[in-house]
Amino acid sequence: MMVNSSTDENEGAAAGAAETAEGIPAVETEPGQDLAGQVAALTAERDRIAAEKAELYDRFVRRQAEFENFRKRVEREKGEIIAVAGMELTRQLLPILDDFERAIAHESTDAEYAKGIELIYQRLFETLQKAGLEPIVTEGQKFDPYVHHAMEMVETDEVEDHSILAELLRGYNFRGKLLRPAMVRVAVAPSSGK
């Protein structure tokens, strides 16, 4: 039994000699290999490890940049989805806003009732404005087919050609984008072919 334990100790010592005290593998040297060969082998190993490190660092930097781009794209898409959802909700609320405007324009015998309707309209309109609703100004403007929809053309020489005479239904932008064109009555020059 004694013989086996000493053999195990010799094998353990031989295995331990292959590593230095820091746990770094020792360079195996052949009896005829000189010190310059050892240095060349260590230099080659160092260069290989440095190249591997540079490649891993490059991959890391690229992945980090890809992740940052992905994060920015997701944030941008999230903002676009929220804007579209807000725009659609506002578009669905516009007929209610129009009904409130018609109710306010209609004369009522009950002053308190009319005041209540106007307050509700003001709160709804202010809330929609905070969300991004912007009324299109038509009074005194020239007809613009990109923001106005001509519902009626009136021949007159009292005002300049293609001036807006009246707003039939208010138009709105939502955060700078056309939500609904303004329905207007437009002046046109009288035709001379009568």
- 13 part of a folded domain: no
- Count of residues making up the chain: 194
Band (pLDDT 50/70/90 cuts) for residue 107 is: confident
Domain shared by 41 and 124, yes or no: yes
What pLDDT, on the 0 to 100 scale, is given for residue 30?
Answer: 58
54: Cα separation from own chain's centroid: 34
Domain shared by 95 and 142, yes or no: no
Whether pTM exceeds 0.85? no
What pLDDT, on the 0 to 100 scale, is given for residue 16?
Answer: 46
Structural domain range at position 108: 35-131
Collapsing DSSP states into helix, strand and coil, what is residue 158?
A: coil
- 8 part of a folded domain: no
Total structural domains in the chain? 2
Of 86, 101, 131, the domain-final residue:
131
Where do the H-state alpha helices sit in the chain? 2-17, 35-105, 111-131
Collapsing DSSP states into helix, strand and coil, what is residue 153?
A: strand
Distance between CA 88 and CA 175 in Å, rounded? 12
19: Cα separation from own chain's centroid: 56
Per-residue model confidence as pLDDT tens digits over 76-105: 999 999 989 999 999 999 999 999 999 888
Domain shared by 108 and 177, yes or no: no
Domain shared by 97 and 160, yes or no: no
Per-residue model confidence as pLDDT tens digits over 132-175: 999 998 888 899 999 999 999 988 888 888 899 999 999 999 99
Burial class (CB in 10 A: 0-12, 13-18, 19+), 164: buried
Of 131, 158, 179, the domain-final residue:
131
Residue that is written with structure tokens 């709804």 in the block:
124
What pLDDT, on the 0 to 100 scale, is given for residue 14?
Answer: 46
Distance between CA 72 and CA 77 in Å, rounded? 9
Band (pLDDT 50/70/90 cuts) for residue 193 is: low
Domain shared by 75 and 108, yes or no: yes
Of 131, 151, 185, the domain-final residue:
131
